[in-house]
Amino acid sequence: MAQRVLLVDDEANIRRMLAALLRAEGYEVHEAENSGSALATAERFPPDVIMLDFLMPPGPDGISTLKELRHRGVDVPVIMMSGKANIADAVRATKLGAFQFLEKPLGPESVLVTIEGAIELYLARAENRALREAVMPRTELVGDSRSLQAVRELIAQVGPTDTRVLITGESGTGKELVAAAIHYASPRQTGPFVTVNCAAIPRDLVESEMFGHERGAFTGATDRRLGRFELASGGTLFLDEVGDLSLEARAKLLRTLETNEVERVGGESTVPVDVRIIAATNHDLTQAVSEGTFRQDLFFRLHVFPVHVPTLRERIEDLPALVEHLATRIRPRKPPRFTQDALELMMTYAWPGNVRELANIIERLTILGGPDIDATRVQQVLPLAMTVVDGGDPVPALLLSRSLTDALDDYERSLIVGAITKASGNVAEAARILQTDRGNLYRRLKRLGITASSVAHSD
């Protein structure tokens, strides 16, 4: 596809000369004779680069046009052209983001070289944005409910500080999104954002993962390895499911929080670290402290600024916006349209797995459904609707329209899917939640045609 150039000059002869030169080189060229025409053309045919005359009497000049282009979000390289501009004018244009300043009369070779450099800059910027989006965790909190607005306000308050934050909420509510949003609202945003899922690390490797190890510290330690604290130095360390850390790791974590130093496994000296800590848990740590199962001193170190993330049930009015967002993320070019009856049916479901479960369901519906997804299609994926009553507890609905066997299978399927979602796909953990053994759960999964991998999704 040809790169698109917008020529803006009040002199028709100059536009004609430049257009012929650029078209001969394979560029797609659009012309404008003044500021108003330039703004309209840029909106209708978004350019990859703009050549903009400095003086265009009697209307707005090039500087004013450049300001308005930036104000409208046109962030492409702009090459200023003039036969009468001075150094001060060039400086003003450069401060507004002009790529280059060419003096008239224009030489064909200088024009082509400058255009080529501008295009390279445009492509490099686009690639850089794509890479940043790929490596940066998603931080968009979708919805306008009062409870989510309260979370946004807390993020705005604590983000610019270096205060430790403890994020609480059920599994699947998006605690990591909140942590990332806090990081990118802070002065540390250019530093690393390192995540540790404390529940997913094998107990015998927790200290090595968190604090690093020296060569020969244990069997298999063939090289020195930096821990997550050192990797996050200068940025933020997010300790997800911090309540699942072992007692030994909690003690070492407390020492690190008190001293801002880590000692690698097998090491003989400490290493200073500069890390902001954000922790998260789906456990009630206050109750755990009162029961003696979580250290009070560590809790106070982590629980400086609490942020609670509401369940999807508590902000069910956000569901339509979430559905649209998730469907677009899964199929950006042609996302499916969810009918009103489909959305209304989904809003009667209790969503025990919260937004994580919703993302799973939307992905399934996007794959199975066509351009329009109605209530019938949703009912096939959510065969047992769960209605939220005044007390906030989900109760089964639509049972009377089904046979006892089908209704029981549907209810069992709903319970198992909810447990696996809450356990992030860990069948052993799901079995513990359901208070059954792993072998029994595997047999039930096989009978119901459920696979753990198809259910689990990360925050």
Please state the φ and ψ torsions of residue 307, each to the nearest 5 degrees: -130, 120
> Given this model, what pLDDT does residue 138 score?
56
CA angle 299, 300, 302 (to 5 degrees): 65
Cα–Cα distance list, 95 to 34, 92, 98, 444 (Å): 22, 5, 7, 66
> Are 214 and 265 contacting, i.e. CB atoms less than 8 angstroms apart?
yes
Asked if 313 and 392 touch (Cβ cutoff 8 Å), the reply is yes
| CATH 3.40.50.2300 domain locations along the chain | 4-135
Render pLDDT for 301-332 as a digit per residue (tens, 0 to 9).
999 999 999 999 999 999 999 999 999 888 88
Domain span(s) for CATH 1.10.8.60 in the chain: 313-455
Would you say 415 and 428 are in contact if contact means Cβ atoms under 8 Å apart?
A: no
| Cβ(64)–Cβ(35) below 8 Å | yes
User: Is the model's pLDDT at 388 over the cut of 60?
Assistant: no
Nearest-angstrom CA–CA distance, 278 and 164: 6
Question: Dihedral (C-alpha) 243, 248, 250, 252: value to the nearest 10 degrees?
Answer: -160
Secondary structure of residue 354 in the 3-state scheme: helix
332 upstream amide cis, omega within 30 of 0: no
Average pLDDT over residues 421-428: 80
Q: Which amino acid is at 295?
A: R
Give residue 57's pLDDT. 85
Contact, 49 vs 3, CB < 8 A? yes
Residue 135 pLDDT level (bands cut at 50, 70, 90): low
pLDDT of residue 397: 44
Pairwise CA distance, residues 406 & 359, whole Å: 25
pLDDT > 90? residue 446: no
Mean pLDDT of 223-239: 85
With contact defined as beta carbons under 8 Å apart, do 35 and 65 qualify?
A: yes
Multiple choice CATH, 146-308, 3.20.10.10, 1.10.3720.10, 3.40.50.300, 3.30.390.30: 3.40.50.300
pLDDT digits (tens, 9 = 90+) for 109-134: 989 999 988 888 777 766 665 555 55
CATH 3.40.50.300 maps onto the chain at 146-308
The answer to whether 298 and 256 have CB atoms below 8 angstroms apart is no
Average pLDDT, the chain: 83
pLDDT tens digits along 255-298: 999 988 888 877 777 788 889 999 999 988 999 999 988 999 99
- Its CATH class, for the domain covering 4-135, is alpha beta
Tokens standing for 141? 């909190």
The two counts, helices (H) then strands (E), for the chain are 20, 16
| Section 175-192 average pLDDT | 92
- Kindly state the percentage of the chain with pLDDT values over 70: 87
Among 150-164, 193-207, 270-284, 390-404, name the one with the lowest average pLDDT.
390-404
Higher pLDDT, 166 or 265: 166
H or E element: which one contains 11? Answer: none
Strands (DSSP E) found in 107-215: 165-168, 193-197
Tell whether pTM > 0.95. no
The CATH fold assigned to 313-455 is Helicase, Ruva Protein; domain 3 (1.10.8)
Specify the pLDDT at position 385.
43
pLDDT-based confidence at residue 403 (cuts at 50, 70, 90): low
Strand ranges in 1-134 using DSSP code E only, listed in sequence order: 4-8, 28-32, 49-53, 78-82, 100-103
- Amino acid 106 reads L
Average pLDDT over residues 373-380: 86
